[in-house]
Structure 1
């Protein structure tokens, strides 16, 4: 279903939370869409008792453009090794959706006082050679970042009680502050010729100001995000070993 040449995405977060609560906040569509940046809407569709769960998802790309798709999912809440698994297959018929179809899984692995929450997924882009290039250069890295950022937002919700909406506001505020610092500092670096107007203080100011401005620029660019701000960098983006998709995923092939 997906291209053999594509590079599957892998994201892992360690969350100090109860396994049942983590399961609830990831399996309930109303709570899932609150923390997952990739989706604007997620809703379950009617199904027969012996069928996997079908769902509809949508993402608002622009204020006037929403891309939607459908999928099917199944979960294993009780496994002999104590882990849990959720698998899904999805597709979008929308012509403006770069993703044509794909599949993926979530794994919940108890680990001491927390849970290793990880995902692996892949998809087939549309639009031919242009779509493959756009996916490799821009879209796939963006999807990896958005998944990792969302996992950390979920972690903050579970570990620290920071609501997803508040976490987003924290992130936007920090982003604006960093941008303002960079703007002010870069403007200050361009005012060097005016230092001569300070008379006797000019040599000292000419030495200290650029140094302080460069320090501020470095902090704005490189300083770690605040503890209450979601950050993709806190998640593992490379699998620790060879990873195999769960068998559960194969049971969905006839339903996708």
Structure 2
């Protein structure tokens, strides 16, 4: 699989399964989707679904998929697999497949995913995918997994987690803007009175420290962060066998 993301979540396995398998809950925490809805199916058939992603206000890219799950396995793990495709000409993702795996681990669950897809638009699409879309998809998946973790572990709803992230991002941006424009220089020097002239030499160091903190400081514990997730598998992993038998959604 091209992308791998793993988060360790201290939560009940059934609760994690519910919040990831029910479309109404899934779309709340997963940044990659604006809409997820199950489609009608006959008994015994795999579950089909429709998904949509809002790219810009008024512009939504949609697709369809098919999924199947293994809820009871001898080793206690659970697995969910899917295939998806989008006919929309503006969707760089033409089709793909992936899986979720739920691995009990002490007082929590290792929740991990592996997925890959085929981009469209030929050579241009392949380049755009490598430079922009694939890194963005990896970050969005990891960020969403951590938002899910906050919901399960600390009761921070996905909506509140997003507000926390935006607020922290704004504060960091303001610190960098103030530091780069020198808007706080006069106030900084005023603190030192007669020593202001000599302290002016300290200003560049103060700016460097402020910018470094704004850029590199670890996010607050109530803020989702992609960096908290594992982005490379600790050992070699294989896609579940059931994925090979799952039909293409087209």
Q: Answer yes or no: same fold by TM over 0.5.
A: yes
The equivalent of 1:55 in structure 2 is 49
CA distance in 1, matches of 2:33, 2:248: 25
2:93 paired residue among 90, 99, 110: 99
Structure 1, unaligned stretches of length 5 or more? 1-6
Q: Which runs of 4+ in 1 moved over 6 A?
A: 189-192
Residues 42-98 of structure 1 show CA distances to partners (whole Å, capped at 9, x for unaligned) of 000000101000000000000010000000000000000000000000000000000
2:144 paired residue among 131, 147, 150: 150
2:28 paired residue among 34, 38, 51: 34
TM-score by length of 2: 0.94
- Map of 1:130-141 to 2, 5 A cutoff? 130-141=124-135
**Pairing 1:173–2:170 present:** no
Count how many residue pairs are aligned between Structure 1 and Structure 2.
246
Structure 2, unaligned stretches of length 5 or more? none
**Pairing 1:233–2:227 present:** yes
Q: Give the 3 Å change call, closer, same or farther, for CA 190–21 of structure 1 in structure 2.
A: closer
Is residue 189–residue 210 contact of structure 1 (8 Å, CA) maintained in 2? no
The equivalent of 2:10 in structure 1 is 16
CA distance in 1, matches of 2:48, 2:235: 31
The equivalent of 2:157 in structure 1 is 163
RMSD: 1.8
SS at match of 1:104: strand
CA distance in 2, matches of 1:9, 1:118: 11
CA distance in 2, matches of 1:9, 1:181: 34
TM-score by length of 1: 0.92
